[in-house]
């Protein structure tokens, strides 16, 4: 069965602003100062934002919320935020400012110190997520992994991202699985717009994806990481007692923050540049997983 809903491949500036928690005016300012590259424009000459645009916009918002000046954010992207010199220079300037505004910027200091400790943008994610990843070997977590966790945290909240982090823990500590993951990712990427949805390669890659995901899940269960995930839910529940109403329930569950959009609304505003063949491949992989699931 084909899914009736697919996230957009590109979104307009209003939807991009809503997803990132900012305003169209702010985004236009980012373009003006060279912080955010100008995206493609549609037939109506309006800006259209894709996946990479949204990832950069989300990191900009994370850094700005941590108190980093826009000029320093631009410099960090230019030099490489995750390079040792880039982080050191950016944080040195920021910490000078924080020293003068200790009381008002205490929350920002916490985020910056986490960023320094982790040596990457991981410190800008919630502590619930960074605590899950902090014992990984240095350099084993990729920027694309952090990008994925960033999006998940924005849509489903810290708890959702912390659970997803289990996947990246396994990939970071099992080189053979990481190699298989990279190979299948490349095969899926090759299913571009030139490939028909009924091309035999689509079903083949879907079967490979299913086999890989099964192997990944086996490692998670055998390593005890599945039990760690259960403990995450217990820890979250302890920190967030039973809510009084449905709106608060979404917030307490870690799916979203107060005043933000629902997870369903967020999914509809985050663009993924996936071809029809790639979506069909994903659907087939899901169908294979459903066939393996025991009947209830």
Q: What is the pLDDT of residues 158-177, one digit of tens each?
A: 999 999 999 999 999 999 99
Q: 154 and 66 in one domain?
A: no
Q: 199 and 278 in one domain?
A: yes
Q: To 10 degrees, what angle do helices 106-118 and 84-100 make?
A: 160
Task: Return the percentage of the chain with pLDDT > 90, whole number.
Answer: 42
Q: 153 and 67 in one domain?
A: no
Angle at CA of residue 198, ends 197 and 201, nearest 5°? 90
What is the pLDDT averaged over residues 1-25?
Answer: 82
Inside any domain, residue 2 = no
Torsion-angle region of 94 (φ positive above 0: left; ψ -120 to 50: alpha; else: beta): alpha
Backbone angles phi, psi at 96, to 5 degrees: -65, -40
Chain centroid to CA 21: 15
125: which 2 tokens?
A: 């994610």
Q: What is the mean pLDDT of the chain?
A: 81
Backbone angles phi, psi at 49, to 5 degrees: -110, 130
Identify the residue with better confidence: 70 or 167: 167
Inside any domain, residue 191 = yes
Inside any domain, residue 65 = yes
In terms of residue numbers, what domain contains 129? 124-239+262-292
Chain centroid to CA 183: 21
The number of CA neighbours under 13 Å toward the Cβ of 148 is: 12
Q: Give the domain-ending residue among 73, 103, 133.
A: 103
Inside any domain, residue 7 = no
b/e burial code for range 260-276 (CB count within 10 A of at least 16 → b)? bbebeebbbbbbbebbb
Rounded Cα gap, residues 226 and 156, in angstroms: 19
Q: 72 and 187 in one domain?
A: no
Q: 22 and 135 in one domain?
A: no
pLDDT at 46: 87
Dihedral sign, Cα of residue 117, residue 118, residue 122, residue 128: negative
What is the pLDDT averaged over residues 44-65?
Answer: 90
Taking the whole predicted model, whether its pTM rises above 0.75 is answered as no
Inside any domain, residue 230 = yes
Q: 172 and 80 in one domain?
A: no
Inside any domain, residue 275 = yes
Inside any domain, residue 95 = yes
Q: To 10 degrees, what angle do helices 225-239 and 143-173 make?
A: 130
Angle at CA of residue 179, ends 77 and 166, nearest 5°? 70
Residues 6+ apart with CB under 8 A from 64: 70, 73
What is the pLDDT averaged over residues 271-284?
Answer: 93
Q: 178 and 50 in one domain?
A: no
Task: Let me know if 18 is exposed, middle or buried by CB neighbors in 10 A (0-12, 13-18, 19+).
Answer: middle
Q: 33 and 136 in one domain?
A: no
pLDDT at 2: 45
pLDDT at 100: 55
Which CATH number characterizes residue 46's domain? 1.10.1660.10
pLDDT at 240: 73
Digit-coded pLDDT (tens) for 179-226:
999 999 999 999 999 999 999 999 999 999 999 999 999 999 999 888
What is the pLDDT averaged over residues 80-92?
Answer: 56
278: which 2 tokens?
A: 């790639």
pLDDT at 258: 39
Is residue 251 very low, low, confident or very high in pLDDT (cuts 50, 70, 90)? very low
Our count of domains for the chain comes to 2
Q: 89 and 131 in one domain?
A: no
Backbone angles phi, psi at 118, to 5 degrees: -80, -20
Contact yes or no for 75/92 (Cβ under 8 A): no
Q: 266 and 143 in one domain?
A: yes
Identify the residue with better confidence: 42 or 91: 42
Residue entry with tokens 């919630």: 126
Q: 192 and 47 in one domain?
A: no
DSSP class of 125: S
b/e burial code for range 135-146 (CB count within 10 A of at least 16 → b)? ebeeeebeeebb
Rounded Cα gap, residues 256 and 253, in angstroms: 8
Inside any domain, residue 132 = yes
Q: 159 and 48 in one domain?
A: no
Rounded Cα gap, residues 109 and 95, in angstroms: 8
């Amino acid at each position: 069965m084909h899914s009736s809903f697919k996230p957009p491949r590109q979104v307009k500036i209003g939807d991009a602003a809503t997803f990132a928690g900012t305003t169209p005016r702010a985004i236009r300012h980012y373009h003006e100062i060279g912080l955010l590259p100008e995206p493609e424009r549609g037939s109506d000459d309006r800006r259209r934002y894709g996946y990479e645009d949204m990832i950069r916009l989300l990191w900009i918002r994370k850094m700005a919320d941590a108190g980093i000046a826009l000029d320093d954010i631009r410099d960090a992207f230019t030099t490489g935020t995750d390079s040792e010199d880039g982080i050191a220079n950016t944080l040195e300037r920021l910490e000078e400012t924080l020293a003068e505004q200790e009381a008002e910027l205490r929350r920002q200091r916490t985020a910056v110190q986490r960023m320094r400790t982790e040596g990457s943008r991981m410190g800008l994610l919630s502590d619930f997520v960074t605590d899950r990843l902090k014992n990984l070997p240095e350099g084993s977590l990729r920027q694309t992994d952090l990008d994925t966790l960033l999006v998940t945290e924005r849509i489903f909240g810290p708890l959702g991202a912390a659970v997803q982090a289990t996947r990246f823990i396994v990939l970071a500590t099992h080189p053979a699985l990481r190699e298989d993951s990279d190979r299948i990712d490349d095969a899926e990427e090759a299913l571009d717009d030139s490939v028909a949805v009924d091309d035999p390669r689509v079903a083949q890659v879907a079967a490979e994806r299913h086999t890989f995901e099964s192997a990944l899940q086996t490692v998670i269960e055998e390593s005890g990481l599945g039990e760690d995930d259960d403990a995450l839910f217990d820890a979250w529940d302890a920190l967030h007692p039973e809510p009084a109403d449905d709106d608060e329930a979404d917030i307490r569950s870690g799916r979203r923050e107060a005043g933000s959009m629902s997870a369903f609304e967020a999914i509809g505003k985050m663009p993924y540049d996936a071809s029809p063949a790639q979506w069909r491949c994903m659907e087939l992989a899901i169908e294979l997983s459903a066939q393996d699931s025991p009947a209830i």
